[in-house]
A and B are shown apart, each in its own frame.
Chain A
Amino acid sequence: MTDIEYVRAADQGSALALVAEDPDAVFLAGGTTELDLALKDQVVHPSRFVDIGRLPLRGVTRDGDRLRVAALTTMEELAADPTVRERLPFVREALLLGASTQLRNMATIGGNLLQRTRCRYFRDPDVGACNKRDPGSGCAAIEGVARMHAILGAGPSCIALHASDLCVPLVAMDAEVELLDADGTRTVPLTEFYRTPGDRPDVENVLRHGELVTHVQVPLLPDGARSGYLKVRDRTSYEFATTSAGAAVTVEDGTITWAKLGLGGVGTMPWRAWEAESVLVGAPASERTFRAAAEAAIRDPFTVPGTAFKVELAKRTIVRILRTVTS
Chain B
Amino acid sequence: MSSATTARSTQVTVELRVNGRTYPVRLDSTTTLLDALRDELHLTGTKKGCDQGACGACTVLRDGKRIVSCLALAAQCDGSEITTIEGLAEDGHPHPMQEAFVRHDALQCGYCTTGQVMSAVALLREGRTGSDDEIREFMSGNLCRCAAYPNIVAAIREVADS
A and B held together in a complex = yes
Which A residues have a C-beta under 8 Å from some C-beta of B? Answer: 1-10, 14, 17-18, 21, 28, 31-32, 35-36, 38-41, 49, 51, 53, 76, 99-103, 105-106, 236-238
Residue in contact with A35 in the complex, picked from B3, B67, B73, CB distance below 8 Å: B73
Residue in contact with A106 in the complex, picked from B32, B71, B78, B123, CB distance below 8 Å: B71
Known: A1-B28, A105-B65. A14 touches B75 (CB 8 A): no
B157 an interface residue at 8 Å Cβ cutoff?
no
Known: A10-B2, A35-B73, A36-B53. A100 touches B141 (CB 8 A): yes
- B71 and A28 contact, CB distance less than 8 A: no
- B4 and A21 contact, CB distance less than 8 A: yes
Mark contacts of B1-41 with chain A using CB atoms, 8 A cut-off: 1 yes-contact digit, 0 otherwise: 11110101110100000000000000011101000000000
- A51 and B75 contact, CB distance less than 8 A: yes
Give the CA-CA distance A292 to B77 in the complex, in Å: 51
Give the CA-CA distance A51 to B123 in the complex, in Å: 28
Give the CA-CA distance A41 to B32 in the complex, in Å: 14
CB-CB nearest in chain B for A32: B71
Give the CA-CA distance A28 to B32 in the complex, in Å: 14
Contacting residues, chain A, for B10 (C-beta < 8 A): 1, 3-6
- A36 and B52 contact, CB distance less than 8 A: yes
Interface magnitude class on chain B: 35 or more
Known: A1-B30, A6-B12. A14 touches B2 (CB 8 A): yes
- B75 and A8 contact, CB distance less than 8 A: yes
Q: How far is the CB of A92 from chain B (nearest CB, A)?
A: 14
- B66 and A105 contact, CB distance less than 8 A: yes
Further pairs besides A10-B1, A102-B119: 14, Cβ < 8 Å: A1-B10, A4-B10, A5-B9, A5-B10, A5-B29, A14-B2, A39-B32, A101-B126, A101-B141, A102-B56, A102-B67, A103-B68, A105-B65, A237-B137
Residue in contact with B30 in the complex, picked from A39, A106, A236, CB distance below 8 Å: A39
Contacting residues, chain A, for B66 (C-beta < 8 A): 101-102, 105
Name which of A2, A6, A14, A76 has the most chain B CB atoms within 10 A of its CB.
Answer: A6
CB-CB nearest in chain B for A7: B1
- B1 and A9 contact, CB distance less than 8 A: yes
Q: How far is the CB of B135 from chain A (nearest CB, A)?
A: 12
A-B contact pairs, 27 of them (CB 8 A): A1-B10, A3-B10, A6-B30, A6-B75, A7-B1, A8-B1, A8-B76, A10-B2, A14-B2, A18-B4, A28-B73, A31-B71, A31-B72, A32-B53, A36-B52, A36-B53, A40-B52, A41-B52, A101-B66, A101-B119, A101-B126, A102-B67, A102-B119, A103-B68, A106-B71, A237-B137, A238-B140
Mark contacts of B77-89 with chain A using CB atoms, 8 A cut-off: 1 yes-contact digit, 0 otherwise: 0100000000000
Q: How far is the CB of A323 from chain B (nearest CB, A)?
A: 23
Q: How far is the CB of A199 from chain B (nearest CB, A)?
A: 31
Q: How far is the CB of A285 from chain B (nearest CB, A)?
A: 30
Q: How far is the CB of A80 from chain B (nearest CB, A)?
A: 9
Q: How far is the CB of B14 from chain A (nearest CB, A)?
A: 10
